[in-house]
Amino acid sequence: MMALIAKDASYTYPDGTVGLSNATIEIEKGERIALVGSNGSGKSTLLLLFSGLIKPESGSIEILGKKIDKSNSKFFRRNIGILFQNPDDFLFNPTVKDELLYTPAQLEIDEDEAIDIAERYASIFGIEKFFEKPPFRLSGGEKKKVALACVLMMEPKILLLDEPTANIDGKTRRKIIEMIEDIKTTLVIATHELDFIDKLADRVVILGMEKKIIADGGLELLDDNKLLEEAGII
Amino acid sequence: MEILEKTAKEAASFFQNFFSYEIVDGKFLQNVDVRIKMPGLFAFVIAAVSTFNPQKLILLFFVLAVLISVSRIPLRVYTERVWMIPAFSIVVLSPYIFAGNFGYILTFSFRVFLAVSFLTLFMISTRFKDVITALRFFRVPEILITVISTTYHNIHLMFSELYRILIARESRKIKNESFSQMWHNGGRSVGYFFTRAYEKAERVHLATVARGYNDKTKVYSEGLRIRIPDVAFILLTASTLITYLWI
């Protein structure tokens, strides 16, 4: 069964900036995809479309066999986890504990169960010592860990990660990569860092400067320097 | 003109922290149910701004000191949050110095200080989710709760955005600007801040939706159970208000 399908999906932001142009891609359940492209190539837009947070201007998006509308939004929120590129946009609660409990509360998960899961994930990510701290006082790496914990603790069927290793130190980066390696779910990871893709993905989708998908295939695409140059990645 | 920029930067930094919950391991106020604490502390705020009687104000100050002390709120944290608004009221009232009316300035600023202090005490000792619980308990319209909740979620992000803009502006300023240049560039920065704040709010809204928000902010809340700290707070509030009316 397909987890995600985009058919000729295009999106233009309200200010007229083209976000994505005629993207067609099918992602099977359990597949691990790396979306690779230069800055502004449309990776984040495609992730937002796959999360159902924005709707395509033309074309269509199907998620777990369903089209997004208001009546099934809870189903999508329970099953899709998306990590934003900038954790400052993602963390808006007064404390880290409130951040971790935000989604379970919205999805009406039992409080004791939610606290249990939150504590488990806080311990996995080593963020339990920040439990009562406001997220805006954390460092970039710590914020990223908190945001990732918030997403992973819901154990989503589809995980969309936008530049999960951007702007963080080497140690935190290694830790985050290790954690993502262990996740067994449909994974779409947007990045322009090529060095860890072979660990996390088994398929590569390259987006070009024209905000279109220019290549879709196995990891061998990463060895095609001409293609990567054309995409503005190297 | 430097002072204006520094004031804006300080204010952005101040308000970024002003609304956040801070004291976790408290002994008293933190354990009072928000549905009891909210009307009690708000009654003190109203009492503070409703009188110029120094005796009544001293009574409220005494209660404030007791609450800070038994709730183990560090004076540094408390002072950092409280000083700016009373200081601003002194500046606003400074023309009264020429009328020789020092008493009015002091009393007025003291009232402001007390009102801000009780509000700060509430914010510092209460989790935001409990505030939502209390608002629902008092049947505040859901639309207003949504507005408060959205504002709260955005407010420190907005101030941190403003702070970043001011820092970036300062880092790229090579020489002191004339008043007109500062006015011109400051206006542009304010415009830029509004644009960024708007875009930030859009992204934060997307994040709330991505994380399950669907027209109503849900929070975990316990049923109201009256415990020893609640009874103690009710007694303190009642006896203070009776004394206040009696003085």
Question: How far apart (Å, rounded) are the C-alpha atoms in residues A63 and A5?
Answer: 7
B13 touches chain A (CB under 8 A): no
- Per-residue pLDDT at B23: 60
- Give per-residue burial for B135-146: e unless 16+ CB within 10 Å, then b: beeeeeeeeebe
Phi-psi region of A22 (alpha: psi -120 to 50; beta: other; left: phi over 0): left
User: Which one of B153, B211, B217, B220 makes the best mutation probe of the A interface by having the most chain A beta carbons within 10 Å?
Assistant: B211
Handedness of CA A163, A166, A170, A176 (dihedral sign): negative
Question: How far apart (Å, rounded) are the C-alpha atoms in residues B73 and B28?
Answer: 10
- Cβ-count burial of B176 within 10 angstroms (0-12 exposed, 13-18 middle, 19+ buried)? exposed
Handedness of CA A98, A104, A108, A112 (dihedral sign): negative
- Rounded to two decimals, the pTM is 0.83
Map tokens 């936008």 to a residue: A162
Using alpha carbons only, give the angle B205, B210, B214 rounded to the nearest 5 degrees: 70
DSSP secondary structure letter of residue A137: G
A59 with A25: CB under 8 angstroms? no
Q: At A21, is the pLDDT very low, low, confident or very high (cuts 50, 70, 90)?
A: very high
% of chain B exceeding 70 in pLDDT: 94
- Per-residue pLDDT at A12: 94
Here the tokens at position A58 are 């033309």
% of chain A exceeding 90 in pLDDT: 60
Cβ of B157 and A92 within 8 Å? yes
Residues from chain B that touch A79, judged by Cβ atoms under 8 A, are none
Question: How far apart (Å, rounded) are the C-alpha atoms in residues B48 and A158?
Answer: 54
Average pLDDT, chain B: 86
Q: At B90, is the pLDDT very low, low, confident or very high (cuts 50, 70, 90)?
A: confident
Asked if the model's pLDDT at residue B198 lies above 90, the reply is no
Between B219 and B224, name the one with better pLDDT: B219
B136 touches chain A (CB under 8 A): no
Tens digit of each residue's pLDDT (9 = 90 or more) over A91-144: 988 889 999 999 999 989 999 999 999 999 999 888 999 888 888 889 988 999
ipTM of the shown complex: 0.88
A73 touches chain B (CB under 8 A): yes
Asked if the model's pLDDT at residue B53 lies above 70, the reply is yes
Tens digit of each residue's pLDDT (9 = 90 or more) over B145-180: 999 988 888 887 888 888 888 888 778 777 777 778
pLDDT mean over A166-186: 88
Between B102 and B122, name the one with better pLDDT: B122
Nearest CA distance, A54 vs chain B (angstrom): 9
Cβ of A93 and B153 within 8 Å? yes
- Per-residue pLDDT at A14: 86
Asked if the model's pLDDT at residue A78 lies above 70, the reply is yes
| Closest alpha carbon within chain B to A94 | B20
- Per-residue pLDDT at A4: 95
Q: At B220, is the pLDDT very low, low, confident or very high (cuts 50, 70, 90)?
A: confident
B208 touches chain A (CB under 8 A): yes
DSSP H/E element including A59: strand A58-63
Between B27 and A20, name the one with better pLDDT: A20
Tens digit of each residue's pLDDT (9 = 90 or more) over B121-139: 998 888 888 899 999 999 9
Between B64 and B193, name the one with better pLDDT: B64
- Per-residue pLDDT at B18: 67
Using alpha carbons only, give the angle B75, B41, A131 rounded to the nearest 5 degrees: 55
